[in-house]
Each structure stands twice: as structure tokens, then as C-alpha cells.
Amino acid sequence: MEISSIINSLNDAQRVAVSAPGQAMLVLAGAGSGKTRVLVHRIAWHIQVDGVSPHNILAVTFTNKAATEMRGRIEELLNISARSMWIGTFHGLAHRLLRRHAKQAGLTESFQVIDADDQLRLIKRLLKNLSLDEAKWPPKQAQWFINAQKDEGVRAKHMLDSGDFYQRQMIAIYRAYEEVCERSSLVDFAELLLRAHELLRDNEDVLAFYQQRFRFVHVDEFQDTNTIQYAWLRLLTEGRDNLFVVGDDDQSIYGWRGAKIENIYNFQSHYPNHKVVRLEQNYRSSGQILKAANSLIANNDGRMGKELWTDAGDGEPISLYTAFNEQDEAYFVVEKIRQWVNDGGRRSDVAILYRSNAQSRQFEEKLMSTGTPYRVYGGLRFFERMEIKNALAYLRLMSNRHDDASFERVVNTPARGLGAKTLDDIRALARGQGISLWQAAAESIAQGKLSARAANAMKGFMALIKQLADEVEDKELFEKVKAVVEHSGLIGLYKKEKGDKGEARVENLEELVNAARLFDYDDDNGENLGELDMFLAHAALEAGDMQGDDYEDCVQLMTLHSAKGLEFKQVFLVGLEDGLFPSLQSTEDPARLEEERRLCYVGITRAMEQLYLTHAESRRLYGKESYPRPSRFIREIPPEFIQEIRLRANVSRPVTATVQPRSSMLGGSYKLGQRVSHAKFGEGVVLQMEGEGAQERVQINFHEVGLKWLMVSYAKLEAL
């Protein structure tokens, strides 16, 4: 029997995993260790060596792209069709089960699957029918609650009244939602998994059929499974020890969306007759990068344990850059990318990884200013994000009441009780008389064309816009933006969103205040625009340019969560500061801190050749200025793997080293102790200087605003 094509390309550990006798198996696959290759070759081994029919194979992945890749590689390896295999995502395979057994699952044959947007719209209609105010019971919060219960296998009827008013109301919404879906024969994504589990659990004949059919069950990214996913895997493999899972407890980073790292730990007790194989040889990163990753993750307790290694050599040491502030950090990163490209490197081989979406703005601005194409992977650029557009719409309406697009965007955001009919009537009046929506709204109120409730809501909105405009008329730009962020109701709206998404929206709004504070107003172009209008024009231009297409050679920007599964020759892991990464919330929760450390481990192991770690001595983020400590994650990497660099030279020294003041006569533009004046920050005293020419920076203690690092070429300082 020909097996060389299956095992010849594998290393020793991979061969053990692929060729082991049929039994429950946990393959701990480290980053870059070839886990997909092992899954594909294990399935090929069953077919080619064990004589198993493709009809008897089940393989579960987390994305359709991964399923398609797996199917294609099996067909290429064995030169057969994989159509009879069940290879797909959890949701896709659950849907397939329910279509085949709709009646036994309690569904009509014509049931419809609704996506997250459709589900949200349904919940909004339901809240209206229940006479619940969306401001008090946000639809997204109800959606999160419903899906979280389903992911745990819990129906509304299973939930007990604990006496908590919020919980009681959410259970009532969940129950009403279930009734509507049942009546309309609708199935959401979470319901697919729950209903498939219930189908197998409650129908012995169906369960027996699929247990018999699927002689071998394979699962990719096992550490990312949630409660209900693992529950139906256990049903399918109950008493058969035919579950083959590939995962990595060190890369479990999705606890916030329901993934249970406990599943990978409990596997061994649930399947006593199991085998564990560790894939530790890495084919992606250099030795120095892997040693740093190993040292970092060793600080987590309760790991199953593995040590990544490579035979490709140590490569370059990890570079650590201590920036003066977030602007200097972005300047350094973009300058390094420019050097990389000038030396013949491709931009698409470079990634900037950050913990929070709000961090992207500084890098976007610096990349734009240098004409460097970039793409925000898996997300929107800063000024394209919904919450930012909403805040800018308030600002535009304050500047120009006749901006119909902005009026439409925020007249009912947050919800004010203005119904679709009210807005349709206002639009019709505006069209009929050729006036703006603002004018049409005022006229509708004056002529008594609106209901009392709608008139009061519209008056409140218009009064808010006028009040905001009047109160900030003579204030600085950042104060205008801050007033909108704080008083528009947007912060309250997004704080009610459960999970990381709502938190990220709030952080982005606070970062918008920082963008306004740092905005360099220059009307030398003769357009005679005020600072607010110039800022709004700047935002519009940034939202519409420089976003590279998929096929273009452009720098990749992304959150660390989005980076999982990807690899780049040059990686910048930025913002490594306590309170930012790890996040402030995680520092008091050991479990969350360990997940943050795993996230850092994932970021480090994305790098193939060059890895840069950066942190700032001072940072203004989310509208607040701080002087953070370097991240504990930096301190957990032994100093022998790190080369700390500065602007003018590469030097090896302890990570905790601080900037030493230069002497007062080093030939720079300024002297220590010199008094200077800045147009925005007022008078101050020069305390430190570093760099030369275009890279020269000065630290100034301003009388009004305190310490700031400024680039001399941009600051327009005046010596006193």
C-alpha cells in the first residue's frame, strides 16, 4: 500500500499524529507547526491506509475558507473527490443536519436562517411590540443576552427568576423572541447549534445513525469551541473514542465571545483512552522570536506545556523602541516601514498589530502623510467607523444646520422616539418646498403637523444641537468635540452594548477627542475655513483615500485578535503598556490576564523575520493623557532576546532604562532650561532633547498643560 505520499513530507511528531491507531487524540499544535497539514494527512491516512470511505469522515473547521482549503488539499493529496465527506463549519454542518431532519428538530421544512443583522431588526420590532424603550433596553444588549444563553445550551424556560429586575426582563424578551421565531419558522446562528444539539440529544435513532456514519470526527482550532459546540461533538463520539482534535491552549483568545479554554483541558477526562501529541517544530519564525514567545507564555499557570523550536537559525534579535509619545511611536514605525520598502521589501509583508482599534488612527495619519498605501484588516479605518461618523455628523450639524445627510444620520441616534412616518413626512415637506430637513422639521413643529410626542422629541433634538453650538462657540476644537461626545448621548448608547464591541466604540469616541486636540490647524491655503470645518474636511478626506484594495501591495493594520492565523515577515507589536496591553480590566482578573498574555503570544508568533515591540513614555488615548509603565509582557521576555533601540543608535541595555538628559550644549536647536512658547500650549521650559534634524524632539514642561514631547520640525516653537 502506497503511503509515502502521506508521510514523507512530515516531521516525526506529525507522523505520530497522522499514523496513530484509531483512538481519541489531542494534537497540541503550536503556532506555525503545520496543524492543517496534520489534519489533512490524518484524513488521507484513514482513507488510504485504514480503508475508510470518505462517506464516513466528518471534519469541522471555524471558517468556510478553512473548510474549502482542507477539502482542496485532500483532493490534491489523494486525487479523489471529497464531495461525500462532511467538511465544514459548525454552523454549516448544523444547518445541514437540520435541513435533513427538520421535522424531528421541531422545524418546518421551509425554515429560514437569519443573520445577525436580521436578528437585530427582529428584536427591535419585538421591543416595540412589547412597548419597551430602546434607550432603556438596547436591542444589541438583548441580542447579546439571547445568543449567550443559546451558546450555553440554555432556553428561556430553563432560566429561573432570581428576583433581579434586569434578568427578569431579559428572560421575558428571550421568551417572546423564541415565540416569534417559532411562529415564523426562523433560525438564527446560535439557534443552529443549539437546535442541532437538541436534535441529536432527543432523537436516539438520529444520533445512532450519525454515530455509525461518522467513524472518524476531526476538529480544527479546538481551543475556540464553546459549550454547545463541544456538547454536540461529545454526543456524536460518545463511547467511541473517535474524536481527533487539533488545538493550542496557548492560542485561546476568544473567551469574550464564548470560547471555553476548559474544553481542551477537559478533553483528557472525557476521553480517558486518549493520546496527546505535541507539535513543537515551528516553520514560520526565527529562533529569537520563538524563544521570546516561549518565555512569555511560560508565565501562564495550568498550561498543557510545549516549547516551540526551529532549525532555521536564531535570526535577528527582537527590537524594542521606547517612544516619547504615541505620535513618536507612529513616526518610528512608519520610518522603519519606509526603510524596509527602500531595501526591496513588500509592504504587504508588514503588519502593525494593536490591542485596541482606537490605536489605528495615529498610524493611519502617518502612513497617509508619507503616501504609503495601507489596509485595515478585518475592520474599518478610524474615520469610517459608525460611532465616529455619528459624532462627526453632530459636529457638521452644529456647523451647518442644513446638512441633510448629517440630520438624517443623528436625528434619531440615540433613539428619541421619532418614528419612520414622522421622518417620512418631514422629508416629503422638504422635497415639496425645496428646503432643508432642519427647516422642514421646524416648520412641521410650528404648523402642528407632528404628534405631541414626536414634536417634543424633535424640539429636544434641535435644542440640543443649538445648545451645543452656542456653548462651544468660542472654545478650542477638542473642547467642541468633547462636548459632542459627552452630551450627544452616544457614549451612553454604546456603553449599553455588551462585550468588547461597545467598549471599543466608546474608546474610539474618546480617541476622536484626542485627534481634535492634536489637529494641526493651518489656513495658509487661503480657504478661510474655521478650525472645526477644517477638521471635518480632514476627516472626510481621510475616510475616502489611501485604503488599499485587497490586490494592492499595502501595509496591513489590524487588532491582535484579527491577526490570528496570519503571518508577516515584519511585525510591529505596538502600545505595549500596562493598562493598554494588558488592558486595565484584566490586571485585577487572573483569568483575563492570562488570556491577554496568550494574545501577546499570538502577536509575537505572527512574525517571521523581524519583530518590533514599542511602547510610549506618555500617551494620550481615549481623550486622556497618561505616563504608563512598559507592559509586564516586555518584562517577562528575558533581556538577552531584546535589543533596545533609540533614534540615533542601536544599543543593548536593560528594558527598564530611561532617557538620560543631554548636556545643555549639544548643537541642537534648543538648550536645556530654555524658555519657549507654543501657539496652543503656551509658555514652557525645555527639559530634554533627543535626535537630530527632522527627527529632533524636545520635552517641554508647559505652565498650563504640563509635560509634552514635541517634534521640533512640526511644533513651530518660538524661543523666548
The answer to whether 513 and 481 have CB atoms below 8 angstroms apart is yes
Cell of residue 462, nine digits: 434641535
Query: What dihedral angle (degrees, nearest 10) is formed by the CA atoms of 600, 602, 603, 608?
Result: 140
68 carries an active-site annotation: no
Active-site residue, from 198, 220, 328, 577: 220
486 carries an active-site annotation: no
35 carries an active-site annotation: yes
Three-class HEC string of 418-451: CCHHHHHHHHHHHHHHCCCHHHHHHHHHHCCCCC
229 carries an active-site annotation: no
161 carries an active-site annotation: no
Which of 361, 325, 362, 358 has the alpha carbon at shortest distance from 507?
358
The answer to whether 307 and 605 have CB atoms below 8 angstroms apart is no
The answer to whether 124 and 97 have CB atoms below 8 angstroms apart is no
Which of 123, 575, 615, 563 has the alpha carbon at shortest distance from 324?
615
Active-site residue, from 35, 361, 409, 517: 35
Active-site residue, from 42, 606, 620, 632: 606
| Residue 162 marked ligand-binding | no
Cell of residue 213, nine digits: 456514519
Return the residue matching grid coordinates 422629541.
457
CB atoms within 10 A of CB 106: 14
| Residue 66 marked ligand-binding | no
Task: For residue 548, give Cα distances in angstroms to 332, 348, 355, 551.
Answer: 21, 10, 22, 8
Kindly state the DSSP code that residue 130 receives in the 8-state scheme: T
In terms of DSSP bridges, do strands 718-719 and 675-678 run parallel, antiparallel, or are they unpaired? antiparallel
One-letter amino acid for residue 713 of the chain: S
| Residue 460 marked ligand-binding | no
Please tell me whether residue 300 adopts helix, strand or coil conformation. coil
| Residue 33 marked ligand-binding | yes
275 carries an active-site annotation: no
Contact residues for 264 (Cβ-Cβ < 8 A; gap 6+) = 26, 222, 223, 245, 247, 249, 252, 304
Active-site residue, from 36, 104, 281, 587: 36
| Residue 34 marked ligand-binding | yes
Which of 212, 277, 203, 205 has the alpha carbon at shortest distance from 238?
212
Active-site residue, from 141, 251, 413, 422: 251
| Residue 31 marked ligand-binding | yes
Active-site residue, from 188, 221, 507, 578: 221
Q: What is the DSSP string of 388-429?
A: HHHHHHHHHHHH-TT-HHHHHHHTTSS--S--HHHHHHHHHH
Annotated binding site: which residue ranges? 29-36
As annotated, the binding site for ATP includes 29-36
Catalytic residue positions, numbered: 35-36, 220-221, 251, 606
